[in-house]
Structure 1
Amino acid sequence: MAFASGASRAALCLAFVAAGCAPAGAGDGSDAGIRLSASLTGDDVTLTWKGHGGDVTVEFATEPGGPYTILGFVPEAVARYEHPDLMPATTFYYRVRPVEGPTSDVATAVPATDRVEGEDWLVPRSVPDERAAPKPAGAPANLLVESVGPDARRLTWTDNASDEEGYLIERQVDGTFEVAFVVDANVNHVGLIGESADTYRVRAYRFGETSNVVSERTP
């Protein structure tokens, strides 16, 4: 994922933590459709799951009740995740959560029309937009991707959702989309450093029902 430096980096990391962690006591997914399994080889854990063919987050904790932290976003049609080189003599707990929600139209980067200086443009924020018409499961619209340098992109869009957990910034790589960054709900402006892709979309995401929790203890 792409992060900025300094104060902007801190702000972006806070956005990621807010989107990626869940408090202790969250649902254990005992009745969920996703069935998660784990196996341990040395100090590496391999996770596989059945019952869901869409995008998911893979999350881990070191206590049974959490808090859980996102390890990664796994695209649809992939049902496997490797968590390597783990700390010895530690129990790791895992769960998987579906990521659901409508996406914007795909947009291709165009040159920025203004002069971009400093780091303020990097900070995720909500900018007033009179075109917004929030509703449940509303799809983001009017995505604009601007190239502000060889490896820097600024994205703005219309926030039409009233029930999103946050927004996923997804880049196109080899014909498929992968998550580049995560921002909080109601955000409609973000800058990314370290991004050279030209094609993006934005997803107003919500979490589906959590899988069962599995655990492995490293030797």
Structure 2
Amino acid sequence: MPCRLRLALRPRPRATIAAVLTVCALAGCSWAPPDKAPKEPRSTARLAATLDSPIDVTLRWKDDEPGVAGRTVEFATERSGPYTVLEFAPPDRTTYRHPDLMPETPFYYRLRSYFGPASASVEVALPPGEPSEKELTGNQEWMTPRTVKGPKARTAPLTPGPTADANTAATPTDFEASVRHATGIEFTWTDRAAGEDGYLLEVRQAGSEGYRPVALLDPDINAFGLITLPEEKRASYRVRAFVYGEQSNVVRLRTGSDDRP
């Protein structure tokens, strides 16, 4: 099921194992990328983990893999998984802090690179205030992630790896944003990718420097409605077709006893 990501969610105290770290567009859900079975390390990204306190973990890695669009930061409580995505980290991110974990529990961490081109961006300015009752209770089909048929478009396969030029032909085109109400935006685009693992809707808030994913969508989706946060009244959006690359080494550590009152 396509999911709305709020990747800056704070972990729930002492409930990380059961924490829901992605949020569906229609209902809460947990999500992990395909291929959950453990593999031998193949990515050049090398991951390390340290305990800052008995229940707080910091992950660090070296940014030496060229051409990545980003990396997923994933954790599990068993080496074989299932792994849950904590964040879709931008390519220049080299740390992640995972705080307030379940005490005396093993945690396994890994990275997975992803590759793929982003569309041209669009700027959106939403009207002030909140949507009306009619807008909230009316036809909401525009919010449903879906595949809208259109003129036949030539597609190109996505390739994981540093050869970014090979993926140019798979770039989403005709990316458009339609304001539905004071907190709602409908996005549409032309799907030109073949063999993609999905799409990421990315946002750059006014005054911020980089884009971050806010929605994870299934392959072949080309229309989707987003309910925005208050800080997204003015923002730039784009959509990225992506494919997963190789995973990093898996690191293991065990949290200690939490003696706080």
Partner of 1:147: 179
Match of 2:195 among 155, 163, 182: 163
**Greater relative CO (CA pairs within 8 A, separation 6+):** 1
Q: 1:8 to 1:52 in 2, by over 3 A?
A: closer
Partner of 1:203: 240
Two-structure CA RMSD over aligned residues (Å): 2.3
Q: 1:61 to 1:160 in 2, by over 3 A?
A: same
Q: Any idea what the Cα deviations from partners look like across 1:40-69, whole Å, max 9, x if unmatched? A: 122111001113364111011111111111
- Do the aligned residues in 2 keep the contact of 1:22 with 1:66 (CA within 8 Å)? no
Secondary structure in structure 1 of the residue aligned to 2:240: strand
Give the share of equivalent positions with the same residue, in percent: 37
1:49 aligns with 2:68: no
With normalisation by structure 1, the TM-score equals 0.86
Aligned pair count reads: 207
List runs of 5+ in structure 1 lacking aligned partners: none
Match of 1:72 among 81, 87, 96: 87
Secondary structure in structure 2 of the residue aligned to 1:9: coil
Partner of 1:120: 141
Partner of 2:44: 33
Q: Which moved more, 1:188-197 or 1:57-66?
A: 188-197
Q: Quick one: which amino acid aligns to residue 45 of structure 1?
A: V
- Do the aligned residues in 2 keep the contact of 1:164 with 1:205 (CA within 8 Å)? yes
Secondary structure in structure 2 of the residue aligned to 1:175: coil
Secondary structure in structure 2 of the residue aligned to 1:190: strand
- Do the aligned residues in 2 keep the contact of 1:139 with 1:203 (CA within 8 Å)? yes
Partner of 1:214: 251
Partner of 2:154: 133
Structure 2 distance, partners of 1:190, 1:62, is: 33
Secondary structure in structure 1 of the residue aligned to 2:194: coil
List runs of 5+ in structure 2 lacking aligned partners: 7-23, 127-133, 159-169, 257-261
Structure 2 distance, partners of 1:215, 1:141, is: 42
- Do the aligned residues in 2 keep the contact of 1:95 with 1:214 (CA within 8 Å)? yes
With normalisation by structure 2, the TM-score equals 0.73
- Do the aligned residues in 1 keep the contact of 2:36 with 2:80 (CA within 8 Å)? yes
1:9 aligns with 2:22: no
Secondary structure in structure 1 of the residue aligned to 2:192: coil
- Do the aligned residues in 2 keep the contact of 1:124 with 1:190 (CA within 8 Å)? yes
Q: Quick one: which amino acid aligns to residue 26 of structure 2?
A: R
Structure 1 distance, partners of 2:25, 2:75, is: 26
Secondary structure in structure 2 of the residue aligned to 1:164: coil
Structure 2 distance, partners of 1:72, 1:175, is: 18
Structure 2 distance, partners of 1:210, 1:181, is: 22
Quote how far apart the aligned CAs of 1:23 are: 4.4
